[in-house]
Amino acid sequence: MTSPVDSPLVRAARRQDVPHTPVWFMRQAGRSLPEYRAIRQDVGMLESCRTPELVTEITLQPVRRHGVDAAILFSDIVVPLMAVGLDLDIVAGVGPVVAEPVRARSDLDRLPELAPEAVPDIAESVRLLVAELGATPLIGFAGAPFTLASYLVEGGPSKNHERTKALMHGDPQLWDDLCARLAQISLAFLRVQADHGASAVQLFDSWAGHLSRADYLRHVEPHSRAVLAGMAQSHPEVPRIHFGVGTGELLAPMADAGADVIGVDYRVSLADAVERTGGRYAVQGNLDPALLFAPWQPLERRVREIVEEGRAAPGHIFNLGHGVLPTTDPDVLTRVVELVHEVSVR
């Protein structure tokens, strides 16, 4: 293996044969690692996301430690919103908080389009990382329009997304205009990463599982489709992963929105996910992040089952069903990587 293009991750995403099942973890960089906590001690989250030397070091930490098959750019879904000038912060223990929520047509004026020139730091981070990573692929990412809109409309993290749904149904035209703008921002952010060498991209629609299938199809899917289609058009060689939490009922429309790989959380088996998406897509997942706290024996059993199920899929990228929890023992993650590699050798 000499180039990220031939890496197990990119090959699995393209449903080509692989020497072993590739594995990475959502939130593999972050608070589970003591070296991350040390480097972040005196630096705010958004500041660290926009300082290329810090982004590079933090992104590489889990690659060095765990031997995962991919790096994911250390950033956040709200970074491009900050880059277009929106007043927001990431508050420790809370998440993204927006100073003035977006709820009226006049608020769209505070959300201009994203020009690549607004994120030179992201281009630089990706360049530095690709040079350091060699044959290991870098995954770029962006938030999908619905999940981004949820933070903007609610003003921060939300349990029920009530204001978001009120806007979606109360003023569908404004909702569509907001999501179209967010789709432009997400697509531009993904393109900057792919232009500078990201080998795959993941669109995070983390909270789409809160929607009915009908609402997803009517109010959300066209905007996510625009992002994925834009990437397919400009960077057809860069595989697209589409992920959400609790999206068992949405797997088919999310895959059909223009993905190569459908992210699967732990609530649905990989076999069911393959069936629900017509056997046409690679799957990514789906170990329950809470199982990393269980004794090794049941954890090992579950990892082996997931690898086996993945072998029957058109392509499989091993991952968790959602992000690494902050109190996870990092040594367990390293052992899981070793186990996946060992039991999946072709």
Interface pick for ligand 1CP out of 72, 128, 129, 261 (rule CB under 6 A): 72
Minimum CB separation of residue 29 from ligand 1CP in Å reads 4
Site string for ligand 1CP, 83-112 (x = CB under 6 A): -------x-x--xx----------------
9 vs 29, which CB is nearer to ligand 1CP?
Answer: 29
Which residue in 249, 265, 259, 238 sits closest to 214, CA to CA? 249
Peptide bond into 160 cis (omega under 30): no
| Site of tokens 């003591």 | 34
Q: Which of 136, 138, 141, 192 binds ligand 1CP (CB under 6 A)?
A: 141
Q: CA 153, CA 144: separation in Å to the nearest integer? A: 14
Report CA 26 to chain centroid distance, whole Å: 7
217 binds ligand 1CP (CB under 6 A): no
Lateral strand order in the sheet of 200-204:
71-72, 138-143, 200-204, 240-243, 261-263, 282-287, 316-320
Binding segment toward ligand 1CP, per CB under 6 A, in 69-77, 125-133, 257-265, 301-309: 69-77
Task: Give the nearer residue to ligand 1CP in terms of CB position, either 123 or 343.
Answer: 123
Would you count residue 125 as binding ligand 1CP (CB under 6 A)? no
Q: By CB under 6 A, is residue 74 in contact with ligand 1CP?
A: yes
**Residues contacting residue 243 through CB under 8 Å, at least 6 positions apart:** 26, 202, 203, 204, 205, 206, 262, 263, 284
Site string for ligand 1CP, 19-38 (x = CB under 6 A): -------xxxxxx-------
Using DSSP's 3-state secondary structure scheme, residue 278 falls into coil
Q: Is the dihedral of CA 152, 158, 164, 166 positive or negative?
A: negative
Q: How far apart are CA 131 and CA 233, in angstroms?
A: 25
Among 157, 170, 172, 278, binds ligand 1CP (CB under 6 A): 157
Supply the residues annotated as catalytic: 27, 31, 40, 76, 151
B/e letters for 147-160, b = 16+ CB within 10 Å, e = fewer, are bbbbbbbbbbebee
Q: Is 27 annotated as a binding residue?
A: yes
Q: Does the annotation place 103 within a ligand binding site?
A: no
Question: Binding site for substrate: residue ranges?
Answer: 27-31, 76, 151, 206, 322
Residue ranges in contact with ligand 1CP by CB under 6 A = 26-31, 45, 72, 74, 76-77, 90, 92, 95-96, 141, 147, 157, 204, 206, 323
